[in-house]
Amino acid sequence: MKTNILLAGVGGQGVITLGLIISQAAIEQGENVVMSEIHGLAQRGGSVTVDVRIGDYHAPIIPDGDVDLTIGMEPLETKRALSRAPTGSRVVMSTEKLVPVSLSIRHEEYPDLLLLAESISENFHLRTIDAVSAARKSGSFKAANIALLGFVVGTGWLDLSLESVRNQIGRIFSKKSLEINLIALESGLEMGKAAQQEFLQHPA
Amino acid sequence: MSAYESLLTGKPGENMFLLGNEAIARGAIEAGVAVATTYPGTPSSEVGDILYEIGAGAGMKFEFSVNEKVAMESAFAASLAGLKSFVFMKHVGLNVASDVLMSISYTGTRGPMVIMTADDPSMFSSQNEQDNRHYAHFAHVPLIEPSNPQEAKEFLKVAFEISEMESLPVIFRTTTRISHMRGIVTLSAVTTPNLKGRFKKGGRSFVSLPSNAYGFKDELVAKMGRIGAHDFQGILNRSEGDHESRIGIITSGEAYNVTRDVLDKHQINVEVLKLGITNPMPEKTTREFLSRHGKIIVVEEVDPIIESDVRAIADAGFPEVTIHGKMDGTIPMSHETSPNTLEESLAEMLGFNVADRKPFIQGNELPPRPPVLCAGCPHRATYFAVKRAVKMLKLNDPIYSSDIGCYSLGNYEPFSEADIMLEMGSSVGVGTGFTRVTDQRIISFIGDSTFFHSGIPALVNAVNNNSRMLVVIMDNDVTAMTGRQPNPGTPVSLTAGRKKNQSIENIVRSLGIDSVKTVDPYNLKETLGAVMDGLKNEGVSVVIAKRECAILRDNRMRKEGLEVKYHVVTEKCSSCYNCVENFACPALSVSNGKVTIDPVLCDGCGVCAQPYVCPFKAIEVTSIEN
């Protein structure tokens, strides 16, 4: 397997944790992985991207145009990250909107989500999930990154076994939060499978 | 238990998926480092965070020093007492410590000593991308460059061996990509450090008086000559690929990784000489490499340092070999080695095609998300108050002199309270300089850690020059931007094992400054009053805006079981937008024309509920739960 996965979101959404779980699950399956985290100026609230490269790679940065799968925790940040992905590649996006201050100070509102998703799906294979709602139902909105991960696994677009993903979640979380995250994973997984089924029956 | 505990307990042979900086911390433990010192700075900060937490468990003495110069002096003392010492910092930190470096290369060391510099090509979190490999040449000390976390751990141990071999400090250079990449690392055995130091008198002098230094220089040149005679083949340096290829590539560090990936992608088989020690250049290895190839490409970050050496060696013995790199324009002089740029640089010479690429969007099509102060950050309130004070006093064109730390984000809208920002402590020094040449009012912003690091001498200078300026010391208890490390002012309760902390107010008062006021920035009225008083004063005024970092406050409140949130009472909101326009907390946004507060992002500081931010009293507290 040689796969380049680009993760995007906003600081505080758990993007690095998501990259860590994907990487460790791939390692558990016998793959080599290099991953990059950039620790920017802001402690919270800035754009965050994480590159995960599975296979015989050396540099932690995915060349622009070589991204196989983009996983976005936030719509604007997903779209921003897609400048690095080739059109026609796969994109999974959580629909949680986080309004950047650059809009708020001009009293401008967040771009229309449907239009934003449409502009992406015209150029990419897109699947979306309301990961925050799924996570909230599982016990905590904080598990949104894990619900999104379950969703990605459910689409079949990420060559990771559910077992290795579960194992790695178990290494990071414990007790009550582990329980919540495993429920979130499961619910995301079912939604991912359903989304894929829906697509096969009614291709866009 | 610390999150980093596994770096201490991991067994030899075990594989871990480590950040470069985690691998370096483990490397220090495997090497048996006795004393480690640092001043935090991205991209080196995690090494300190880890050793602060688990260093003692490894038997190591660890120190967050007041600045990099003191950190290096402290580590050097351990070396003189015969112990293994490790000092690490970000690249610009080595500028601060360079005065020490330039002397200790001459005096030499006793116990092995390694100096790590974490460079930042492309400036992800720095004011420049200076290539600190120059310091190794400048000071005549060996330079080690790892390419990934595994090498970072192994090469660090070799660096200590080289230091021990010739009693010289060794520079260990990472870059952001190495320090902040994760890769699989196989652990080796740890070494229990020897902590029994003793400074033995007699023998070699460590007094760098001119008469001694004169002789030190000859010794230094001889030491480097001996190290240059080693090839370190298979230890630090290796060559791979077709020995008979016409083209050969010489590279190091992250530039090697990118080169390797580009060659693999296009299935190009040329010989690559990967160097792990680049000062002194392994002469014999380089000569042999030049003898095998007609054309050499040097790929490195950031400046053409290896390239200069290779050109010198080629000039002296291989005039028929052509050299390509940064100096002939083959590879750009600025920024890190991007895979796409390198692909384009090498395509023609190596004979492959680069696919045309049309990006889906241009960067400026979307609303930007620049880094912001956190919701609940006390600095936001301070900036708001200062801006309001300037407006109320109708000050014409004041100069905002800013400094290094989270508060440098005050540069962004809507505050725009940074006109100049250079390096640690510069806010006060530059501010003082302005008072001599312009009648514009000067407002300097400096954080607590930066104040201790290098703000104090500048403030002494300001008092000495009777400068009319306002210095706002933004004290949030910790070195926040690099991850909330303790500094000399940090409350004892937040530190591991410290017995006392130092009062910024006492230090400031001891300088003879009369106009000193400590305020809580969450209290806008009080802060505004203090800033206005300070601006009216004729001499140096200091306002200390003291309030814990919002992330520390979160952690404390969670422990105490407290949760406070605010919300907008929509009927009372007049949509004046003063809050979003002028306070600009990330928890505030506009939806359907009305201001709302995101309950997840809201930190409960309550500053936005004060009439300066919401004159209509439309923001109210939601709940207080115990």
Smallest Cβ distance to A59: which of B258, B360, B598? B258
Contact A46 B125 (CB under 8 A): no
* Chain B hits for A123, Cβ within 8 Å: 360
**Which value, in Å, is the radius of gyration of the alpha carbons in chain B?**
27
Query: CA-CA distance, A90 to B621, in Å (whole number)?
Result: 43
The dihedral over CA atoms of B494, B498, B500, B501, expressed in degrees to the nearest 10, equals: -50
Residue B368 lies in a domain: no
**pLDDT over threshold 80, residue A39:** no
The dihedral over CA atoms of B410, B179, B119, B314, expressed in degrees to the nearest 10, equals: -160
Query: CA-CA distance, A176 to A187, in Å (whole number)?
Result: 17
CATH number at residue B108: 3.40.50.970
Residue B360 lies in a domain: no
* Chain B hits for A23, Cβ within 8 Å: 17, 182
Tell me how far apart the terminal alpha carbons of chain B are, to the nearest angstrom: 26
C-alpha neighbours within 13 Å on the C-beta side of residue B580: 28
**pLDDT over threshold 90, residue A64:** yes
- B263, B328: one domain: yes
Q: What is the pLDDT of residue A1?
A: 73
Map B226-253 to HEC letters: HHHCCCCECCCEEEECCCCCCEEEEEEH
Residue B371 lies in a domain: no
Q: What is the pLDDT of residue B626?
A: 42
* Chain A hits for B406, Cβ within 8 Å: 43
CA angle B506, B511, B514 (to 5 degrees): 80
- B127, B219: one domain: yes
- B485, B430: one domain: yes
Q: Which residues of chain B have pLDDT under 70?
A: 1-2, 363, 623-626
DSSP class per residue in A78-134: HHHHGGGSPTT-EEEEE------HHHHTTTPPPPPHHHHHHHHHTTSEEEEE-HHHH
Contact B372 A20 (CB under 8 A): no
Lay out the sheet containing A33-37: strands in order across: A125-129, A90-94, A69-72, A3-10, A47-54, A33-37, B181-186, B15-19
Contact B366 A47 (CB under 8 A): no
Q: Where are the domains of chain A?
A: 3-199
Number of Cβ within 10 Å of residue A118's Cβ equals 11
Smallest Cβ distance to A109: which of B43, B357, B590? B590
* Chain B hits for A39, Cβ within 8 Å: 42-43, 45, 124-125, 180
Residue B362 lies in a domain: no
Smallest Cβ distance to A105: which of B184, B261, B413? B413
Task: Give buried/exposed letters for B62-97 (b at 16+ CB in 10 A, else e).
Answer: bbbbbbbbbbbbbbbebbbbbbbbbbbbbbbbbbbb
Search chain B and give the residue with CA nearest A31: B184
Query: CA-CA distance, B459 to B455, in Å (whole number)?
Result: 6
* Chain A hits for B184, Cβ within 8 Å: 27, 32-33
- B159, B266: one domain: no
B612 Cα distance to chain centroid: 36
pLDDT confidence tier of residue A193, bands split at 50, 70 and 90: very high
Number of Cβ within 10 Å of residue B381's Cβ equals 29
- B253, B221: one domain: no
Peptide linkage before A86 cis (omega within 30 of 0):
no
Contact B362 A83 (CB under 8 A): yes
Contact A58 B600 (CB under 8 A): no
Query: CA-CA distance, B68 to B504, in Å (whole number)?
Result: 20
* Chain A hits for B588, Cβ within 8 Å: 104
C-alpha neighbours within 13 Å on the C-beta side of residue B341: 16
Number of Cβ within 10 Å of residue B24's Cβ equals 30
Q: What is the pLDDT of residue B604?
A: 95
Residue B419 lies in a domain: yes
CATH number at residue B246: 3.40.50.920
Contact A41 B408 (CB under 8 A): yes
Tokens describing residue B50: 């880890």
- B149, B296: one domain: no
- B534, B571: one domain: no
Cβ neighbors of B46 (< 8 A, separation 6 or more) are B19, B21, B22, B25, B179, B483
- B223, B279: one domain: no
ipTM above 0.90, yes or no: yes
Query: CA-CA distance, B473 to B451, in Å (whole number)?
Result: 8
Q: Tell me which residue range forms the domain holding B438.
A: 378-491+498-555
CATH number of A3-199: 3.40.920.10
Residue B372 lies in a domain: no
Contact B370 A102 (CB under 8 A): yes
Contact B367 A102 (CB under 8 A): yes
Query: CA-CA distance, B253 to B176, in Å (whole number)?
Result: 11
Residue B366 lies in a domain: no
- How many beta-carbon pairs below 8 A join chains A and B? 183
Helix axes B91-107, B68-80, angle to 10 degrees: 30
Query: CA-CA distance, A35 to B180, in Å (whole number)?
Result: 9
- B25, B137: one domain: yes
* Chain B hits for A51, Cβ within 8 Å: none
Taken in order A165, A169, A171, A172, the sign of the CA dihedral is positive
Q: What is the pLDDT of residue B363?
A: 65
CA distance A35 to chain B (A): 5
Interface probe for A, chosen from B179, B360, B554 (most Cβ of A below 10 Å), is: B360
Domain count across chain B: 4
Q: Are B70 and B130 in contact (CB under 8 A)?
A: no
Query: CA-CA distance, A58 to B577, in Å (whole number)?
Result: 49
Contact B373 A42 (CB under 8 A): yes
Query: CA-CA distance, B205 to B200, in Å (whole number)?
Result: 10
- B156, B10: one domain: yes
Nearest to A35 by CA among A69, A62, A66, A71: A62
- B411, B464: one domain: yes
Task: Read off the pTM.
Answer: 0.97
Query: CA-CA distance, B127 to B129, in Å (whole number)?
Result: 7
- B140, B257: one domain: no
Query: CA-CA distance, B235 to B282, in Å (whole number)?
Result: 12
Q: Are B487 and B502 in contact (CB under 8 A)?
A: no
Smallest Cβ distance to A43: which of B265, B480, B580? B480
Q: Are B450 and B424 in contact (CB under 8 A)?
A: yes
Which H or E run contains B8?
A: helix B5-9
Contact A40 B19 (CB under 8 A): no
Residue B361 lies in a domain: no
